[in-house]
Amino acid sequence: MNKARQHKSATQVKFNSFSIAGIIKKSVFIVGCVVVSAATFAQADSVHYAEERHFKNVRQLTVGGDNAEAYWSYDDKHIIFQRTNPKEGLLCDHMFVGSLPADIATPFTYKMVSSGKGRVTCGYFMPDNKHIVYASTHLGGDSCPPTPDRSKYGNKYIWPVYASYDIFMADLNGNIVEQLTNTPGYDAEATLSPDGKKMLFTSIRNGDLDLYIMDLKTKKVKQVTNELGYDGGAWFSPDGKKIVWRASRPKGDSAVAEYKQLLADGLVAPTRMEVFIADTDGSNARQVTNLGQANWAPNFTPDSKHIIFCSNHEYKRGFPFNMYLINFDGSGLEKISRDKGFDAFPMFSHDGKKLIFSSNRNNGGTRDTNVFVADWAD
């Protein structure tokens, strides 16, 4: 077991009335082939936009670097998130945990809970609020794995799906207590059921990127998707009856051939994805969105009756990304965030009172992505 290098940082942010993370980290100022000046985003900087009627008391938690996929502990007192910041020696994503400040005057502080080796992603709390799960490449090497050379693929936007990713359980002192997956190839993107007994994750163990559910007591694994394409970023509904996820579904011989070739090279192109929903055993699967472009980072509303997700479908250039609400049948689409850069990775607190998300907002025209929390108003 590894003892994590703990990294502590405290920040206090002035309060006033924003990992697919990689797509934003690399593309904030490059939209298609157009370079957008920092001033374009700086002019619209705000913690809270007037049109965001569902948000109240918005607070920025992190400052600087790329901070994404921030998710609540079961008691809603802590968050886990991944962070990259070369200025701090964090050359690729590592996992951090912090306590939600009780008031505005209290700074948000956090510490590293991953090993400091390799690259990590997709952290999630266990129900005891004392353990976490996350995916890491550290068994494949101490260094950050190499980023793909996009020039080999016509400069297409692509994601690496590192074969060295496996899922681990650790305590909050950084000690890895159990390796949960140990199959060849990519295993990552884990979330847990409301009772914490089952883990929903993405794996390439069958040759394609599909969803699986693991019983954490018996370690028995069941495959729940089987269509060709990338299935990932999945969540259980709060009532435990359904799952929601993002998926690519390549159509036509050329699209299928491209998908398979990229996958053979350990890559995916996540520029066309839609939101899907199913019962927890994978039955009654159906497509919710049909918007085109990238629709991803879906999650459920606290009542288990609606979906919140991220999309760039309004913008033919592929940017910005904002968050939306939608009904299970695809009706009732409502735009709920308004940053001109990136809003994504939403998760409601378990009591349904707060929403945490990542955004480019209020970054002063930099490439920084930060974590924000807001009170939720229906």
Residue 2 lies in a domain: no
- CA 33 to chain CA mean position, Å: 25
pLDDT at 26: 39
Q: How confident is the model at residue 118 (pLDDT cuts 50, 70, 90)?
A: very high
Residue 312 lies in a domain: yes
Average pLDDT over residues 189-208: 98
H-helix or E-strand containing 354?
A: strand 354-359
pLDDT at 104: 86
Q: Which residue has the higher pLDDT, 2 or 139?
A: 139
Residue 211 lies in a domain: yes
Q: What percent of the chain has pLDDT over 90?
A: 85
- Cα separation of 161 and 168, whole Å? 17
Average pLDDT over residues 337-362: 97
Single out the residue of 360, 301, 357, 358 nearest to residue 334, CA to CA: 301
Q: Residue 37 gets which letter from DSSP?
A: P
- The least confident of 3-17, 54-68, 357-371 is 3-17
Residue 1 lies in a domain: no
Q: Which residue has the higher pLDDT, 197 or 37?
A: 197
Residue 126 lies in a domain: yes
- Cα separation of 233 and 308, whole Å? 13
- The least confident of 42-51, 66-75, 162-171, 301-310 is 42-51
pLDDT at 44: 59
What is the DSSP pairing of strand 120-125 with strand 159-160? unpaired
Residue 99 lies in a domain: yes
Is the pLDDT at 63 greater than 50, yes or no? Answer: yes
Is the pLDDT at 42 greater than 60, yes or no? Answer: no
Residue 309 lies in a domain: yes
Structure-derived torsion over alpha carbons of residues 46, 48, 50, 51, reported in degrees to the nearest 10: 110
pLDDT at 227: 97
- Cα separation of 47 and 15, whole Å? 8
Q: How confident is the model at residue 57 (pLDDT cuts 50, 70, 90)?
A: very high
Query: Please, what is the Cα angle at 197 between 193 and 203, to 5 degrees?
Result: 70
Q: How confident is the model at residue 317 (pLDDT cuts 50, 70, 90)?
A: confident
pLDDT at 204: 98
**CB distance 8 to 293 below 8 Å:** no
The CA distances from residue 240 to 80, 195, 214, 294, in Å, are 22, 8, 14, 26
Which tokens belong to 115? 């090993």
Q: Calculate the average pLDDT of the chain.
A: 90
- Cα separation of 283 and 223, whole Å? 11
For 253, phi then psi, to 5°, come to -60, -45
pLDDT at 169: 98
Collect all residues with Cβ–Cβ distance below 8 Å to 103 and sequence separation of at least 6. none
Residue 9 pairs in a beta bridge with 110
Average pLDDT over residues 133-146: 97
DSSP character string of 71-95: EE-TTSSEEEEEEEEGGGTEEEEEE
pTM beyond 0.75: the answer is yes
Is the pLDDT at 359 greater than 70, yes or no? Answer: yes
DSSP character string of 236-300: E-TTSSEEEEEE----SHHHHHHHHHHHHTTEE-TTSBEEEEEETTSTT-EE-----SBEEEEEE
The domain total for the chain is 1
- Cα separation of 185 and 35, whole Å? 36
What is the DSSP pairing of strand 267-268 with strand 274-279? unpaired
Is the pLDDT at 19 greater than 50, yes or no? Answer: no
The CA distances from residue 44 to 24, 39, 150, 364, in Å, are 18, 9, 31, 9
pLDDT at 23: 39
Average pLDDT over residues 108-118: 97
Q: How confident is the model at residue 331 (pLDDT cuts 50, 70, 90)?
A: very high
Residue 36 lies in a domain: yes
- CA 266 to chain CA mean position, Å: 19
Average pLDDT over residues 121-137: 98
Name the residue range of residue 364's domain: 9-376
pLDDT at 125: 98
pLDDT in tens, 217-274: 999 999 999 999 999 999 999 999 999 999 999 999 999 999 999 999 999 999 999 9
CATH number where 134 lies: 2.120.10.30
